[in-house]
Amino acid sequence: MNTKRRDSDPERRDFLYALAGAAVGGTIGSHASSPRGKEQPQSQEGEFALGDLQLQSGTTLRKAKLAYKTHGRLNAVKSNVILYPTQYAAQHTDVEWIIGPGRALDSDKYFIIVLDQLGNGVSSSPSNTPPPQDRIRFPTITIRDDIAAQYRLVTEGFGIRRIALVTGYSMGAQQAFQWAASHPDMVERIAPFCGTAKTTPHNAVFLEGLRAALTADAAWMKGDYRDQPVQGLRAFARVYAGWGFSQQFYKQEVYRQMGFVSLEDCLTGFWEKRYMRRDANNLLSMLRTWQLNDLGATSGFGGNLDRALSTIKAKATVMAGQTDLYFPPVDIEAEAARIPGARFRVIPSLWGHMAGAGLNSTDSRFIEDEIRALLAA
Amino acid sequence: MNTKRRDSDPERRDFLYALAGAAVGGTIGSHASSPRGKEQPQSQEGEFALGDLQLQSGTTLRKAKLAYKTHGRLNAVKSNVILYPTQYAAQHTDVEWIIGPGRALDSDKYFIIVLDQLGNGVSSSPSNTPPPQDRIRFPTITIRDDIAAQYRLVTEGFGIRRIALVTGYSMGAQQAFQWAASHPDMVERIAPFCGTAKTTPHNAVFLEGLRAALTADAAWMKGDYRDQPVQGLRAFARVYAGWGFSQQFYKQEVYRQMGFVSLEDCLTGFWEKRYMRRDANNLLSMLRTWQLNDLGATSGFGGNLDRALSTIKAKATVMAGQTDLYFPPVDIEAEAARIPGARFRVIPSLWGHMAGAGLNSTDSRFIEDEIRALLAA
């Protein structure tokens, strides 16, 4: 397994060491000392070299890499694994609200692998891939490509054969569905929240608006910018603002709970901050992945979404945000009904799609309680 | 009254003549011949010179003009008047689906005045106002400014003192509410559909996304473009596409009823066509008017929306589109509940906000039936 450290944080232990410990099996899972007399680190960033990655599109992504971060310790029998793929525009450090001792993804009990989606800026992405696959020339990635890459890390990298849970928010939910459909005998449970197994046409139109707004900026230069297209990114963020929270969220000024004092303050301090820090081509790459997502296109299902959903063996709790504007409950419920024995739950929230983003304790508690119940089942 | 003909259509009768006929009273309303032995035309475009128009902002719009089109004949006692202000980005020729013999706005019975909102490209607008108030320097217009201008046409121009009905769609609905609140003893009925008396914060955020998308195009040149900012207009249209129809509209491919064969065909053939023909500064001017709209800001109500609504004396039927994403039923219902005796009705439709646009016969019939019932009350 090829790994390398992603930064020089002196407090971060050597991942190769931790991984070596995990690989010998049977000694790492306890809280006692490791074979080398050191305690296994509680969390660890890493990067898995995928080599040349064959993509669904027929293209090969050269020297591909998958970034991730682990939390907790892999137990002796490797039965305590949770996979948690990142959502749109997020990196592994952005999604940790649900992880930790006592949280739903309890790092005292589970070995949690946060998986960075391709295109997110730390895994292979337009922004970090060398020519000739750099920038706008970065190939189209599908959710199935993500899961293929993640599968290699999990099996080749960690030698894991059973997964207790795959959970994820939004495009992370899309990846959870794909894990369950692609590896039905490996995945014991899934808890996708605020996402669908197939991107709906309206959702794709919403995304198309984001794309059009970003690329309307001539500074985007058809993807070959030197400096980020700031006006385009700002427009992207402001278009997103209308979709991310619900109508009533804004009407009732719920953003005040986040410390924003006005609508404009929320647009600037939340939405612009959220997206203007990102690379434009990365945002466009992930957007395309999202638009294209279709679980039914998984090999063997002949484009039949219902059939793909029906083959899922994992115990499933599927959640939707009550006021989500682009993954509305009705779409999520219809898919959940096709998964044998799936439990469908609506998060009672005014936070729209952001109900699943870990931004408020009420919604987060709801999601965490459901995940805890699923893990106990 | 200052009027002039807007074009040279040889079939269009002289509006000054028709107006003169109307002004003498008692002879024009019948289907028989006019005082000069000619039949009054069934429809007539016109332009009313407002002179220097004092605006709510404190600015004066110089040599302002109000465009309009009338349908039908003003009766002897001037009791058959319907006002129908245009909605966002529309001109008087775009809204005629509901007008004609046998339609809800029956031109055999009523004298219908379609009123062009300021900024719409035919009334005073950024695109047709000379320096120094041209283009981006065109002053901010409020809905109250629109109604002040329209009131002058109606009273000074036509000598009308009673209005049987004000109806309007979307921002036209906003104008209907304003008519009823500003002139409670003059307006007998209102039928606003798919619009609110006060623009909600979420609605303003949706509009902000449109604005940001349009102005992200450097070709906009801060409003001093020579050629339209095509990429910005295209982005504007594509952002709008997600908001205008509902999620289920796209999922069920209802756009096929309009003859579009794919999602992209709908985005191009409907949405881009709809907005790319417009002037960018005009779109931005009207957008600002929409964002600012607040019936409570009417003089005498001290910013209190509920109070403004409660003073409306008109019989009111207020309609909302069931799946409208930016004027959701809950917001419209809450306002309607403040109008004494108002009837609130939900248009059962998957067409989102476009339920009120006259695009499909089912929704149109629903709206027309409600208006007919109101006119009979």
Q: Which two tokens stand for residue A146?
A: 């993500």
Chain A positions touching B205 (Cβ under 8 A) are 238, 241-242, 250, 263, 267
Query: Could you tell me the sign of the dihedral formed by the alpha carbons of B172, B236, A320, A245, in that order?
Result: negative
Question: Which residues of chain A are within 8 Å of residue B203 when distances are taken between CB atoms?
Answer: 247
Tokens of A58: 């027929």
Alpha carbon separation from A84 to A22, A283, A296, A315 (Å, rounded): 19, 20, 22, 16
Distance CA B250, CA A130 (A): 39
Q: What is the mean pLDDT of each run of 10 residues along chain B (377 residues)?
A: 41 33 29 42 93 97 98 97 98 98 97 98 98 98 98 98 98 98 98 98 98 97 97 98 98 97 97 98 98 97 97 98 98 98 97 98 98 97
In the sheet that holds A43-54, the strands lie side by side as: A43-54, A60-71, A111-115, A81-85, A165-169, A189-193, A315-321, A343-347
Query: How far is B364 from B321, CA to CA, in rounded Å?
Result: 11
Q: Which band of pLDDT confidence, cut at 50, 70 and 90, is reported for residue A135?
A: very high
Determine, for residues A250 and B201 on separate chains, whether the beta-carbon distance falls below 8 Å: yes
> Within 13 Å, how many C-alpha atoms sit on residue A229's CB side?
30
Q: Write out the catalytic residue numbers of A.
A: 170, 324, 353
Chain A: residue nearest B230 by CA? A216
Mind listing the pLDDT tens digit for each residue in A74-121? 999 999 999 999 999 999 999 999 999 999 999 999 999 999 999 999
Is the pLDDT at A282 greater than 70? The verdict is: yes
User: With the C-alpha atoms ordered B362, B364, B367, B373, is the resulting torsion angle positive or negative?
Assistant: negative
Indicate whether A225 pLDDT > 50.
yes
Closest to A70 in 3D by CA, of A121, A110, A27? A110
pLDDT for the residue numbered A342:
98
Q: Which of A200, A209, A330 sits opposite B241 (nearest CB)?
A: A209
If pLDDT is split at 50, 70 and 90, which confidence band does A40 have? low
Residues of A in contact with B228 (CB under 8 A): none
Instruction: Identify the CA nearest to B362 among candidates B344, B371, B349, B375.
Output: B349
Closest CA to B266 of B175, B180, B339, B359: B359
Catalytic residue among B294, B324, B331, B363: B324
Nearest-by-CA chain A residue for B241: A205
Nearest-neighbour CA in chain B from A334: distance (Å): 12
Q: How far is B210 from chain A (nearest CA, A)?
A: 7
Cis peptide bond prior to B132, omega within 30° of 0? yes
Nearest to B209 among A204, A211, A238 (CB): A238
Residues in chain B whose Cβ is within 8 Å of chain A: 200-206, 208-219, 231-232, 234-235, 237-243, 245-251, 253, 263, 267, 325-326, 328, 330-331
> Which chain A positions have a beta carbon within 8 Å of B253's beta carbon?
201
Rg (CA), chain A: 20
Look at phi and psi of residue A216 and say left if phi exceeds 0, alpha if psi is from -120 to 50, else beta.
Answer: alpha
pLDDT value, residue A341: 87
Distance CA B18, CA B34 (A): 9
Asked if residues B260 and B269 have their Cβ atoms less than 8 Å apart, the reply is yes
Characterize the bridge pairing of strands B81-85 and B165-169: parallel
B206 contact residues in A (CB cutoff 8 A): 242
C-beta atoms of A238 and B212 within 8 A = yes
Tokens standing for residue A103: 């949280």
**Of residues B241, B216, B238, B280, the one with CA closest to residue A275:** B216
pLDDT tens digit string along A336-351? 999 998 999 999 999 9
Verify whether the Cβ–Cβ distance A213 to B216 is below 8 Å.
yes
Tokens of B356: 């009120």
Kindly indicate the confidence band of residue A39, based on its pLDDT and cuts at 50, 70 and 90. Answer: low
Identify the weakest region by mean pLDDT among A19-28, A124-133, A289-298.
Answer: A19-28
Contact residues of A toward B, CB < 8 A: 200-206, 208-219, 231-232, 234-235, 237-243, 245-251, 253, 263, 267, 325-326, 328, 330-331
Give dist(CA B374, CA B319) in Å, integer. Answer: 12
- pLDDT higher than threshold 50 for residue A298: yes
Distance CA B311, CA B296 (A): 11
**Cβ contact, residue pair A217, B213, below 8 Å:** no
**Which residue from A47, A119, A114 is spatially nearest to A279, judged by alpha carbons?**
A119
Side-chain-facing half-sphere of A331: CA atoms under 13 Å: 26
Supply φ then ψ for residue A347, to 5 degrees: -80, 115
CB contact under 8 A, A206 and B328: no
Structure tokens at B165: 């009905």
Nearest chain B CA: its distance from A207 CA (Å): 8
CB A360 within 8 A of CB A351: yes
Average pLDDT over residues A362-367: 98
Contact B247 A200 (CB under 8 A): yes
Q: How far apart are CA B20 and CA B308, in angstroms?
A: 36
Size of interface A-B (CB pairs under 8 A): 140
Q: Considering chain A, what is the average pLDDT of its residues? A: 91
Any bridge partners for residue A44, and if so which?
A70
Is residue B123 part of the annotated active site? The answer reads: no
Q: What's the burial of A298, exposed, middle or buried (CB within 10 Å: 0-12/13-18/19+)?
A: buried
CB contact under 8 A, A250 and B216: no
Nearest CA in chain A to B219: A218
Segment A350-362, tens digit of pLDDT: 999 999 999 999 9
pLDDT on residue B40? 61
Cα B85 from Cα B367, distance rounded (Å):
16
Asked whether the beta carbons of residue B208 and residue A325 sit closer than 8 angstroms, the reply is no
Cβ atoms within 10 Å of A248's Cβ, excluding its own = 19
User: Residue A122's pLDDT band (boundaries 50, 70, 90)?
Assistant: very high
Tokens of A319: 């959640």
Distance from CA of A326 to the nearest CA of B (A): 8
Mutate to test the interface with A, among B221, B238, B271, B353 (most CBs of A within 10 A): B238
Q: Which of A204, A216, A239 sits opposite B217 (nearest CB)?
A: A216
- Provide the pLDDT for residue B6: 42
Preferred mutation among A196, A211, A238 to probe B, highest tally of B CBs within 10 A: A238
Closest partner residue to A212 among B234, B247, B248, by Cβ? B234
Task: Name the active-site residue from B170, B246, B285, B349.
Answer: B170
pLDDT on residue A18 = 33
Q: Beta partners for B345?
A: B319
> By C-alpha distance, which of B68, B296, B25 is closest to B161?
B25
Mapped onto helix, strand or coil, the DSSP state of residue A290 is helix
| Residue B51 to chain A, least CA–CA distance (Å) | 36
A213/B218 CB distance under 8 A: no
Region for residue B196 given its phi and psi (left: phi exceeds 0; alpha: psi -120 to 50; beta: otherwise): beta
Alpha carbon B165 to chain centroid distance? Answer: 14
